[in-house]
Amino acid sequence: MNTFLWSCAALLTLSATVESLICNNCHVSFLGICLGDTPVNCSNKQDRCYSAVAKFTSELTEIHDKGCIASGDCHNQTGSILSVNYTITRSCCSTNLCNGATSIPLPLSAALGAALVALWSQWGL
C-alpha cells in the first residue's frame, strides 16, 4: 500500500511540472556573430527556438537574432522601413538549445599559437 501511494505521488508530481522550452537568446550581434548568448526559458505560448537574419537592400549590416517564438510566427518576412526594403529569414526548431551558438572560426595562425603556448606551459619553458 505504501509503494502504491508513493507511485501516485510521483505521477502527480510529474504531471504537475511542465518544463518550458529553453532557447539561446542573442543580446548583441556584431558582424554576423551573436555575442552574449544566454539560455532563456520560453513562455508556454512560445514552442519553438529560432535564429534569424535581417538583410537590408541598403548597405547596412545584417542583424542577427535568436530567441523563443510561437510556431505560428516562424516564417520569413519582407517589408520596408523608411523606403529601405528588408528580408527576415528565420529558421526554427523545437528542442532545448537547438538554436545554439555558432562557433567562431579561428585563423590558422591563432590556433597554432594557442597550441604552442599550451606545449610551452606543459614543458615549463
94, HSE (Cβ side, Cα atoms, 13 Å) = 7
- Residue 49 pLDDT: 97
For residues 46 and 68, what is the distance between their CA atoms, to the nearest angstrom?
A: 6
pLDDT above 90 covers a percentage of the chain that reads 41
- Mean pLDDT value across the chain: 77
In eight-state DSSP terms, residue 47 is -
* pLDDT above 60 for 107: no
User: So what's the pLDDT on residue 31?
Assistant: 74
Residue 79 pairs with which residues in a beta bridge? Answer: 86
Give start and end residues of each alpha helix (H) in 2-125. Answer: 2-16, 108-123
Strands (DSSP E) found in 20-106: 22-25, 28-30, 33-35, 38-41, 48-56, 63-69, 77-81, 84-93
- For the chain, give every domain's residue range: 19-100
> Which pLDDT score, from 0 to 100, does residue 13 have?
43
Lowest mean pLDDT among 14-28, 79-93, 102-116: 102-116
Amino acid sitting at position 100: G
Instruction: Supply the pLDDT for residue 108.
Output: 55
* Separation CA 108–CA 112 (nearest Å): 6
pLDDT tens-place string over residues 112-123:
566 667 666 776
Nearest partner of 22 among 66, 64, 65, judged by Cα: 66
To the question of pTM greater than 0.95 for the whole model, the response is no
User: For 19-100, CATH number?
Assistant: 2.10.60.10
